[in-house]
Structure 1
C-alpha cells in the first residue's frame, strides 16, 4: 500500500529586495524560490521604483505624474511615470530570463500548480496615497476611486497574467494595504482641515475588495491575497472582519498575508482568530517573518527544525491540522531580512529550508 506524501507549505519572498540590478535580483529569486517565485521590487533605484510609482505604472489608461507632495493623477504621464513603466518592463524581462536559466524541464512544476507572486499597492491604500489633480487624495472622491480601482484591476491583472504565462505559472497578486485601517477609521490625512476624509465602513471595504478580486480574476489572475498589518497607528485599530468575513454571496479573496511575529507570540488574539478563520475556510495564510532561531533567521538544519516546530505549534493553536493545512501556509522573510544582497539570498533560503523541514516534523 502506498502512502500519501506529507503536504508541503510554500516559501517565497515579501517582494522588496536590495540593490538596483533587476537581473541579479531575479537570479536570486529563481535560485531560491523557483516553485513560488515573486517579482522583485527594487526601490533603491529611486522615484518610479517605489511601491506607489510601480503600482501606478500598471494602471490602464489612467496617467500619473508627481506633485510637490507625491504622486497624482494627471492628463498625461510625467517623466517619473514613464521611468516607472521602464523599470517594470526591465524587471519582467529579467525574471523571464532568470527563469529560463534556472528551469529544469524534467522537474518543472506544472503551470496549474506553480504560482508567480506579484505585489501591488491595493486600491484603498493607493486611493489614500495618490492625489487628484486638485491636490485632494483620490479617496475623497467616490467616482475617482472607482475609476482608479477599475484601471488598477485591468492593468495589474493583465500584466501579472501575461508575466506568469511567460514563466509557466499561474498569477498570484498580493494586495498591499498598509493604510486600510486608517481608511476604516477616517484618519487618512487631508490637505485641508476644513475638508476631512470620512471613514469607510468595514462592510464596504470588504465588499469592494471581494469585487476587486473578482475583477483581477477576470483579467487572468489565479489567486488574490490581501496583505495588512496586525496593528496600526493610534486611532486606527485593525478591523478583522474585512479580512475574515466576506459579505454573503461574494467570492472571498484567496487568503491573507500577515506579519507573523504577533501570531507566534500570541500578542494579538484578534489576529489569531482571523488567521484561524482563513485556514478553516480553506484559504491561504502567508506568514511574513520566520520564527527566530538564536541570533537570527534559521541557517542550519537544527535551526530549521526549531523554527518548523513553532510553525506547527502555531497551526495547532489556530485549530488547523498540519496534515491538511500545511499546503495553505506560505512562509516568507520580512522586508527587513532582505536589506543586503547576501542577506536576501540567505533569508529566502531559510524560508525554503523551514518549509521543507515542516512536513517531516509533522509526521
Structure 2
C-alpha cells in the first residue's frame, strides 16, 4: 500500500512554465499530470511573476519593491508588491476554474527562506542574509504567509490535498559562504547548518506534506533530513556518487524523492525507458526493494520549464508521466 499522498507511478513538474497565459499553463498541467498537478509559475509575465517576487507577495508586514539591483525591502507596499499579488490572485482564479470538482493531491511552490534571504536586500545595507535578525523576521513572516496561502488554495479547491514545495536552489551557497554581497565584490559569511535547519523547520507547515527542492550541485542532505520535510526534490543528473549514502539514509527514513530526469529545455526527448533508467539503476544500487520504487519516487523535469518552448514543456511533462509508469512495471524487469 502506498503511504504517500499520491498514487503509485506518479509524475509532476517543478514549477515554472514558458509564456504568459496562466490558464493555458494550468490546462497543460492538469491534462498531462492528472495524478499530481501543481500551480504553475510564469516568470515571463514580468515583475512579481518571478520566484522571488511571487513568494515575497506572501510575506506579512514585510513589503518589497524592485530596484535596479533587484528586490529590496520597502517602507510600505507599492506598485511592485501589488503587481506580484495580482499575478498570484489571477493564478488562483484560474486554478479555481480549471480544478472545479478535482479531488486529489495538488502541489504549490514557494521560495524557501534561505534563497529568499540571499536575493532580497535590506532597505539600507546588504542582503537580508547578512543580518540574522532580518532572516528570523523573514522566516516568521514567510511561515505566516504560506499558511494563509495554503488556506486560500484549499478554499478555492476544496477537494485538494495540498503539497508544498520549498524551492531552495541557493541553499548550497548559503552553507558554503558563496552568496555574493549586494555590491557583488564580496561573499556573505557561511551560515551554520543547525541554524539553516532551524529556520527551515519554522517554515515547513505542520498540516501539509512538504518537499524541499534544490536543483543545484551539492544538495545538503544532512541538513534537509532534519527539517521535518517529507520529501526531497533534486536533479538526478547532478547527484554525486558520494551523495548516494546520504540519499539511501533518507529513503530508509521514509523520505520521498522527486527526481529530475528530463531536461528543462531542448528539442527532442529521450524514450520513456531511457528517462526512467537512471532512477531504476539508482534504486538498485542503493539496495531497496523494487516494489517500493514507484511509490516513493516521483519523476519530474530536472528543473523549471520557463526556458522551454510551450510544445517542449508539454512534451516534457508527458514524458515524465510515461516514465513514471515504467517504474511500476514488473519488478523483475528492473533486474538486468
Same fold (TM over 0.5): yes
Corresponding residue for residue 143 of structure 2: 153
- The residue correspondences of 1:85-100 to structure 2 (distance < 5 A) are 85-100=85-100
The corresponding residue for 2:294 is 326
The residue number in structure 2 matching 1:76 is 76
1:201-280 matched pairs, under 5 angstroms: 201-213=192-204, 216-217=205-206, 220=207, 222-231=208-217, 238-244=219-225, 246=226, 252-263=228-239, 268-280=240-252
Per-residue deviation, residues 283-341 of structure 1 (Å, max 9, x unmatched): 1100012399xx8424xxxx323433443222111222221242111111234656121
User: Alignment partner of 2:279: what SS?
Assistant: helix
CA change 1:95–1:330 in 2 (3 A) is: same
Q: CA deviation at 1:211?
A: 3.0
Is the Cα–Cα contact under 8 Å of residues 66 and 72 in structure 1 kept in the other structure? yes
SS at match of 1:10: coil
Which residue in the other structure is 2:132 paired with?
Answer: 142
Distance change in 2, residues 1:291/1:56 (3 Å): closer
- Measured in 1, the distance between the counterparts of 2:117 and 2:275 equals 38
Q: 1:342 and 1:97 mapped to 2: Cα distance?
A: 23
User: In the aligned structure 2, how far is the partner of 1:193 from the partner of 1:332?
Assistant: 33
Superposed displacement of residue 230, structure 1: 4.6
Structure 1 position 60 matched with structure 2 position 96: no
Change in 2 beyond 3 A, CA 1:351/1:24 = same
What is the deviation of 1:185? 1.7
Alignment of 1:41-60 (within 5 A): 41-60=41-60
In the other structure, the counterpart of 1:307 is 275
Q: For the residues of structure 2 that align with 1:334 and 1:239, how far apart are their CA atoms?
A: 17
Q: Give structure 1 stretches of 5+ with no counterpart.
A: 232-236
Greater Cα offset, 56-65 or 315-324: 315-324
**1:268-297, Cα deviation, whole Å (9 max, x unpaired):** 1233223222211101100012399xx842
1:234 maps to none
Match of 1:183 among 157, 174, 189: 174
1:342 to 311, 320, 323: 311
8 Å contact from structure 2 (residues 143, 202) kept in 1: no
Distance in 1 (CA, whole Å) between partners of 2:35 and 2:111 is 24
Displacement of 1:224 in angstroms is 1.3
1:198 is paired with a residue of what secondary structure? coil
TM-score (norm 1): 0.82
The count of aligned residue pairs is 324
137-146 vs 159-168, which moves further? 159-168
Q: Give the aligned partner of residue 106 of structure 2.
A: 116
Give the Å deviation of 1:207: 2.6
Rounded to whole Å, the distance in 1 between the matches of 2:20 and 2:91 is 10
Aligned to 1:12: 12
- Unaligned 5+ runs, structure 2: none
Structure 1 counterpart of 2:40: 40
Name the residue aligned to 1:130.
120
| Kept after mapping to 2: 8 A contact 1:312/1:362 | no
Q: What secondary structure, in the 3-state scheme, does the structure 1 residue paired with 2:329 have?
A: helix
**Structure 2 residue 283 is matched with structure 1 residue 297:** no
Distance in 2, matches of 1:169 and 1:42, equals: 22
TM-score, normalising length from structure 2?
0.88
Aligned twin of 1:197: 188
1:253-279 Cα shifts (integer Å, max 9, x gaps): 11111101134xxxx123322322221
Deviations, residues 327-360 of structure 1 (Å, cap 9, x unaligned): 1111112346561211111111111111123212
Residues 221-272 of structure 1, C-alpha deviations (whole Å, 9 max, x = no match): x1111112352xxxxx55432123x2xxxx6211111101134xxxx12332
Aligned-pair CA distance for 1:24: 0.5
Equivalent residue of 1:145, what SS? helix
Q: Kindly report which structure 2 residues correspond to 1:161-176, keeping only aligned pairs within 5 A, or say none.
A: 161-167=151-157, 168-176=159-167
Cα deviation digits, residues 114-173 of structure 1 (max 9, x gap)? 321111111011111101110311111111111111111111232134314532212211
